[in-house]
Chains A and B, each alone.
Chain A
Amino acid sequence: MKYQITDSNGRRTLAFRGQLTFADRTALDPVISQALAGGVRELDVDLEALDYMDSAGLGMLLTLRDRAGKSGAQVRLAKPRGDVKELLSLACFDTLFAIES
């Protein structure tokens, strides 16, 4: 997993690249803290460059959502495609997250 965090016009974006899998879960924790730092209210998770995600990846999105909720931030998933988009749809994640295509 590779990631980048950017701020522009009051919105923060966390962009993932490559794969989000079981192997990444310990590494993700500090990334989430960093993405939610400074009392951010809205967080876009950009999935455009994410090629693959497994069920553990879904679990990480849930952890992110939970931690964001606790710090009063809204999470929006943006631009999922291919297998990632299919997995989100299979798991009905549109009932949990705002998903912007």
Chain B
Amino acid sequence: MNQIPAVLDGGTRILIVDDERMNRTLLEVALSRSGYATVTAEDGLTAWELLDATPDAFDVILLDRRMPRMNGMELLTRIRADDRLKYLPVVMQTASTSTEDVVEGIKAGVFYYLAKPLNLQLMLSVVAQAVDERQLLRRLQDDLAKHSIALTLLDTGVFHFRTPEEGNMLAVALAHICPGSRNLMVGLSEIFTNAVEHGNLSIKFQEKSRLLEEQRWSDEIARRLTLPEYAGRRASVTVERQADRVNFIVCDQGEGFEWRDYMDIQPARAFSAHGRGIAMARRMCFDRMEYRGRGNEVVCTVYTPTATATPPTEPPAPTFDGGEFTCDMALARTMQAGLLPSDRTLAELEHGTRLRISGVFHPSTDVGGDIWGVIPLDRHRVAIYLADFSGHGVTAALNTFRLDTLIRHMRADQDKPADYMTRLNREMSRLLPVGHFCAMLYGVVDTRISQFTYAAAAASRPLVMNLSSREVSQGDGKGLPLGISPSAVYEPRSLSFPPGSLLFLYSDALAEARRADDKAIGCPGVARLLPRMVEDGSATDAVSLVEAILHSSGDTARVNDDLTAVCCLRAADG
């Protein structure tokens, strides 16, 4: 068996599994030059013996798909089924790039696919990303442990929530209460969402099917939340700790429902887009679930691991595609998309201010480090912002949630970009660790004085184009990124924004996108291309502008980072 090299604290060890000696050597050399310790195995079975004997020894596995004795897919399945190894990131290399194979791998929990022949640069960057996520997960597990120490002190507590977003946030926080309990966050968020949607807002099963089909679901939730008959309704969760269990008692102010129909997945609803949440939560997330009375109160119980308590039955293992991690990532992705302005918000904004705002948000991995948003101020003014955190993946994504929370709570000075940015920076400097920061542009469009006033922190230059003359004015994006120095002060800048103008903001991934000749589009390139893209007057929304700019040289330019852009159109008569 291979000797496992010793690594210093914080060092990283990678297992290379490949039947071809040449490939193993190539990877070994490239990885050790980048400072990683490596161990090799020549087939799946040897690798499995190694992993089984020393499950904590590795941070990432580079796995070939086709091998004798045990192939890559078989090994992957074993890894994902093993509690000690299931979160270990696996990077699969394959000569076959058929969609079926790739889908099969993704479902089985592949972190990333690398096509053969290998591009070493790409391989190193993927490995670095996998190492990062692995370390983040370890840190989060530590954090969870620390938080739960505080929450284990809670004997009883009552929390109130009104919106599905508040429910989700609460679910994340309360999941800390039972460390180690499987899928608790997912289960709580399911039950909390139900309490709001089907309880307080009285949306029936068939109604939901129809709304989902017509893609009006989230708009309808937002609408009902403002109606006088529902606006005052709150849901509550009472947390009760007993010797051997924790009860979550969730109550809503709705009329209740025929809960018996939903405790198991009914064949009639097997192919329906929804209606499985309660059954799923019951099977996978809680040890007991009991509805009371007419169904607007439910007690969800999790047994805590004490010496005396034995839960009546062990909940079956989760059966989501690709395991829990994929499920959490999908949830994280949905939650992140939920941070962005909804179509309804933008439509209302247009109705009120006659400014048409649109955005593009393309994370380069499951979740992204960019965020954009709008804050309606009054009939003449709206604040628009775009932020881009350093790095990619989960670390950067968590920071977008931090920023979003800050912005939702910091109401003062929202109409004064420089002051607002100075305050945001002070807070971010307190929150972000060394080496992490955020590039940002925050500005206010004011139609009364026809100006875009903004503050910038290492952002791409804001562009304003006159729609009739096609002339582009470029602003200044210079400024210390947020989160580095608490004493940084930002200055106000402005661009003229008369009727018949288009404002365009973008994250640097657009300028850094590389064309077929490997040249980046560049910031001057974006400013030069913008008027050409709106030539025929049709491309005046963020999605088509970004598409057009990326395709401007015939081929699609390659984007290597999270890409976000925001476009604000002021009509000639607006």
Contacts and interface: CB of A to CB of B under 8 A. Distances in A.
B127 to A, nearest CB: 8
Interface stretch (A8-16, A39-47, A73-81, A89-97): A89-97
A55 B125 contact: no
A56 interface: yes
A55 B561 CA distance: 11
Interface residues of A, number: 25
A93 B132 CA distance: 26
B454 interface: no
B76 to A, nearest CB: 24
Given A22-B125, A23-B121, A95-B480, A55 B434 contact: no
A63 B390 contact: no
A90 B392 CA distance: 20
Most buried by B among A30, A90, A91, A95: A90
A27 B485 CA distance: 26
Interface in B1-59: 10, 12, 34-36
B288 interface: no
Contacts of A89: 478
B42 to A, nearest CB: 26
A59 B10 contact: no
Contact of A27 (B35, B434, B561): B35
A62 interface: yes
Contacts, number: 74
A22 B128 contact: yes
A62 B388 contact: no
Contacts of A66: 434-435
Chain B interface: which size bin? 20 to 34
Contacts of B391: 22, 55-56, 59
A26 B437 contact: no
Nearest to A87: B458
SS class of chain A's interface: helix, strand, loop or mixed?
A: helix
B58 to A, nearest CB: 15
A60 B439 contact: no
A5 interface: no
A30 B481 CA distance: 26
A99 B181 CA distance: 52
Contact of B477 (A23, A29, A55, A90): A90
Given A22-B392, A62-B437, A91 B480 contact: yes
A89 B131 CA distance: 31
B128 A26 contact: yes
Contact of B437 (A22, A25, A58, A95): A58
B128 A62 contact: no
B233 interface: no
A92 B390 contact: no
B446 interface: no
Contacts of A93: 480
Contact of B10 (A29, A62, A91): A29
Contacts of A24: 34, 128
Contacts of B128: 22-26
B527 interface: no
A42 to B, nearest CB: 21
B284 interface: no
Interface in B313-338: none
Nearest to A28: B35
A60 B480 contact: no
A90 B458 contact: yes
Contacts of B10: 29
B7 to A, nearest CB: 11
B552 to A, nearest CB: 21
B224 to A, nearest CB: 41
Most buried by A among B10, B121, B124, B484: B484
A54 B437 contact: no
B508 interface: yes
B508 A59 contact: no
A59 B478 contact: no
Contacts of A55: 388, 390-391, 437, 439, 481, 508
Interface of A: 21-27, 29-30, 54-56, 58-60, 62-63, 66, 89-93, 95-96
6 contacts: A23-B125, A26-B35, A29-B10, A30-B35, A90-B458, A90-B477
